[in-house]
Chains A and B, each alone.
Chain A
């Protein structure tokens, strides 16, 4: 196998801003991203959903680019833009023809330097966010299942257990003072990484980063709340009503090891053995063989980007004629099998080829098919912010390809334990279903 050799240049400005460039002149397109090391896990207490609401505010105007100009300037340069809030990072990104690179950097620097928003902007985006929550969660069958249903059942520390999209009362309570405070605390250059990928030379990119970002003053090191969880010693269960769908559903989540440990690599491959599509054991046993479930999938949410307690989760929608107990029994037969017998040598070989192929796809891949190199950007950002080592993008693949069968079985025994798991049942109100959790 060829070793990966992605060109990666890393510099740190005097104000603490990390700059990472990955030049590749294949297409006249450059993807720019800024990642701030703050996500919804550590948003302020009593302000659930605030990190995400704040992300919306970052498009509402900065000192020299008032409301609507940011979007207009990117679109009218031939580019696309968006942002997203995750557990431990928030990102802002643009893909543009490379002749617009400096304009994008100017805009990102302008909003890192000074956010300029008012009450009207906040009211507007609060309304927009509520419709976002309605369209994705409250008005959809199985909306938010299990990513919003699981945390309050699985975790005890508010940081991990609260509603990440936000209770509407908390969104309503948020005021402009919160916005500026959050901005001042977390949106400082020393808590961020700027990335440029694609049609840009390394020296050019770093020089442009200096030109536009070097005079932004560093802030105090952000205070991070402690996200650690008390030791879990027994299985946790919860119930949520399903308003629209008619199939009973359940999600089972097991606590993951810390990222970048050797257990982490083993769990990542075990996850693929269990949830890797139609060949994965969950789908094969529950959907194809026993035909109990209509869907049985899952995985680790953001393997490279989580930086606090997280789970590997299986999501099952099963046929109403089977009870929840029967579905759970079938699920447990799969986890028992890997605990007792591990996986086969042939299976591990298959998994590694697929892992390598998927990793390449991630490097090139867009987000919804339109954002070139989004995957590479995400890896570089996480490796920079959490590990200080963007070069890991060239090395980490080998660590996954070195995992052995005994390591996978040991991980199964250590992590797939009832006292380390949580189960959420999502029960249809409409179903004639006789089963109860």
Chain B
């Protein structure tokens, strides 16, 4: 596939012809206990990366307590019926492995990486954590106490406060509206609740095992069969969630943090999930807007005006909904000026077609950066898991670049009009009220909160 031409200054070497991008073959199989498994070989280093996913996360049990799945995942690694916490950590080091367990809105996962020569003991430990976690009382108490400190600490981070508020505003009573528990909710966690989540979520019927690395797929498949086949369990019942709010009209939410020397801006609106047919188009539109260094917003408010160091925009895809957002940490005296440019660039993409050469640049960008994932084992793992967990077509990776190349200026215009919903953007600003309230109020009705989430006006 030829690259499209780009306007370049004199003397710049032209691009040589593109080398083919070949994604490694995936072996898909089901173990005798029903566990779905995907393997891919990548021999860059004598290691392998894996992830055991469970297709349920915090959202599925949000009605019991926010963050309950995350707390469950945290305690899973602290003890099994065979090994105490300290033993687990030493055994991991003994086999040169890294392991973490966590839970997002839609999935829970045990992620791991280790030496190829010691893959069997690592898989055996993963199997043990997935089947025989013991939730030792003392470990649970300690992790809960740790979590209390974590939730206190995150309330002092401007980025967290902004995203917490935006999610609340965009998703309301839907579980996606709650990104983190309160201190009181953490204090109320019970060990039994965690064990119930564990029994429901951590089953082979609910799981997907992904392995990428320096191994022979057939050999690895028989190792996996040997290690995991005695594990039994069915998929948990599907859950229904309350409808999302979809707020109309621009509104501004100010989180008052006295003494802030900078203001964190975050604005967003509803968009689409990963499965949506417009996903690739929206990805390209976003990369033109604020998703790349060379994007319009970065060139405007960083390279031209110097308001901020790190402006960016992105599309966050949750399993059932998605949202578009733009963020920048700016100087206190340019909050209004920054918001003006943020909306100017959104509206420009909604109203004026993108010139052909700029589109070609963005297509080359997205297409090239996509293939970076080929070069590392964890890059491959992340691409394969995106495809599998979002149930994208089998040839998604292979056809992605063609889809990017096929996009026209007209497509971009329509996509921006559909998803850069500037009239209904919800704006969050985190900073010192005395310095930014008047500026923020120019952009919509204003509500003011403190860092604990309490209304203060």
Assembled-state Cα–Cα distance A96/B115 (Å): 28
**Contact between A80 and B372, CB atoms less than 8 A apart:** yes
Assembled-state Cα–Cα distance A131/B311 (Å): 11
The reply on B9 being an interface residue by CB < 8 A is yes
Residues of B within 8 Å of A29, CB to CB, are 371-372, 374-375
**Contact between B85 and A288, CB atoms less than 8 A apart:** yes
**Contact between B17 and A99, CB atoms less than 8 A apart:** yes
User: Which of A28, A78, A284, A364 is B45 in contact with, Cβ under 8 Å?
Assistant: A364
**Contact between A128 and B308, CB atoms less than 8 A apart:** yes
The reply on B367 being an interface residue by CB < 8 A is yes
The reply on A205 being an interface residue by CB < 8 A is no
Encode contact with A along B278-304: 1 for CB under 8 Å, 0 otherwise: 000000000000001110000100111
The reply on A147 being an interface residue by CB < 8 A is no
User: Which of A24, A68, A139 is B262 in contact with, Cβ under 8 Å?
Assistant: A139
Q: In the complex, how many residue pairs between chain A and chain B have their CB atoms under 8 Å apart?
A: 235
**Contact between A291 and B96, CB atoms less than 8 A apart:** no
Are A127 and B115 CB-contacts (below 8 A) given A139-B158, A360-B46?
Answer: no
The reply on A71 being an interface residue by CB < 8 A is yes
Chain A residues numbered 1-46 whose CB sits less than 8 Å from any CB in chain B: 2, 24, 26-29
**Contact between B90 and A26, CB atoms less than 8 A apart:** no
Q: Please name the residue on chain B nearest to A365 by beta carbon.
A: B376
Assembled-state Cα–Cα distance A358/B45 (Å): 11
**Contact between A78 and B369, CB atoms less than 8 A apart:** yes
Residues of B within 8 Å of A132, CB to CB, are 309-310
**Contact between B19 and A99, CB atoms less than 8 A apart:** yes
Of the listed stretches B142-150, B166-174, B194-202, B348-356, chain A binds: B142-150
Residues of B within 8 Å of A138, CB to CB, are 261-262
Residues of B within 8 Å of A288, CB to CB, are 85-86, 142
**Contact between B93 and A135, CB atoms less than 8 A apart:** no
**Contact between B378 and A103, CB atoms less than 8 A apart:** no
Assembled-state Cα–Cα distance A75/B291 (Å): 11
Assembled-state Cα–Cα distance A76/B17 (Å): 15
Q: How far is the CB of A155 from chain B (nearest CB, A)?
A: 27
The reply on A219 being an interface residue by CB < 8 A is no
Residues of A within 8 Å of B329, CB to CB, are 131, 134-135, 139
Chain A residues numbered 327-366 whose CB sits less than 8 Å from any CB in chain B: 349-351, 353-354, 356-358, 360-361, 363-366
Assembled-state Cα–Cα distance A126/B307 (Å): 11
Are A369 and B378 CB-contacts (below 8 A) given A99-B18, A284-B89?
Answer: yes
User: Which of A124, A279, A366 is B90 in contact with, Cβ under 8 Å?
Assistant: A279
Q: Please name the residue on chain A nearest to B17 by beta carbon.
A: A99
Are A72 and B361 CB-contacts (below 8 A) given A279-B89, A357-B96?
Answer: yes
Assembled-state Cα–Cα distance A431/B152 (Å): 12
**Contact between A364 and B377, CB atoms less than 8 A apart:** yes
**Contact between B368 and A79, CB atoms less than 8 A apart:** yes
Residues of A within 8 Å of B379, CB to CB, are 366, 369, 372
Residues of A within 8 Å of B45, CB to CB, are 360-361, 363-364
Q: How far is the CB of B107 from chain A (nearest CB, A)?
A: 18
The reply on A404 being an interface residue by CB < 8 A is no
**Contact between A79 and B369, CB atoms less than 8 A apart:** yes
Q: How far is the CB of B94 from chain A (nearest CB, A)?
A: 5
Interface size on B, residues (CB 8 A): 87
Assembled-state Cα–Cα distance A129/B21 (Å): 38
The reply on A141 being an interface residue by CB < 8 A is yes
The reply on A373 being an interface residue by CB < 8 A is yes
Are A294 and B299 CB-contacts (below 8 A) given A76-B361, A279-B89?
Answer: no
Are A319 and B149 CB-contacts (below 8 A) given A132-B309, A278-B89, A353-B96?
Answer: yes
The reply on A77 being an interface residue by CB < 8 A is yes
Encode contact with B along A76-116: 1 for CB under 8 Å, 0 otherwise: 11111100000000000001111111110011000000000
Residues of A within 8 Å of B9, CB to CB, are 64-66, 69
The reply on A309 being an interface residue by CB < 8 A is no
User: Which of B11, B12, B146, B259 is A243 in contact with, Cβ under 8 Å?
Assistant: B259
**Contact between A78 and B44, CB atoms less than 8 A apart:** no
Residues of B within 8 Å of A80, CB to CB, are 293, 369, 372
Residues of A within 8 Å of B362, CB to CB, are 76
Residues of B within 8 Å of A371, CB to CB, are 372
**Contact between A361 and B375, CB atoms less than 8 A apart:** no
Residues of B within 8 Å of A236, CB to CB, are none
Which of B95, B257, B307, B365 gathers the greatest number of chain A CB atoms within 10 Å?
B365
The reply on B330 being an interface residue by CB < 8 A is yes
Chain A residues numbered 222-271 whose CB sits less than 8 Å from any CB in chain B: 243-247
Encode contact with A along B214-247: 1 for CB under 8 Å, 0 otherwise: 0000000000000000000000000000000000
The reply on B312 being an interface residue by CB < 8 A is no
User: Which of B93, B156, B293, B330 is A353 in contact with, Cβ under 8 Å?
Assistant: B93
User: Which of B18, B113, B307, B364 is A361 in contact with, Cβ under 8 Å?
Assistant: B113
Are A198 and B15 CB-contacts (below 8 A) given A76-B294, A353-B94, A361-B47?
Answer: no
Residues of B within 8 Å of A106, CB to CB, are 11-13
The reply on A185 being an interface residue by CB < 8 A is no
Q: How far is the CB of A49 from chain B (nearest CB, A)?
A: 14
Assembled-state Cα–Cα distance A81/B360 (Å): 19
Residues of A within 8 Å of B14, CB to CB, are 103
Q: How far is the CB of A269 from chain B (nearest CB, A)?
A: 12
**Contact between B303 and A68, CB atoms less than 8 A apart:** yes
The reply on A149 being an interface residue by CB < 8 A is no
Q: How far is the CB of A401 from chain B (nearest CB, A)?
A: 12
List 11 contacting pairs A-B, 8 Å CB cutoff, sorted by A.
A27-B374, A29-B372, A65-B12, A72-B294, A73-B6, A131-B310, A199-B19, A291-B142, A353-B118, A354-B93, A366-B376
Extra contacts besides A2-B46, A24-B44, A131-B331 (4): CB < 8 Å: A135-B329, A138-B262, A279-B90, A353-B96
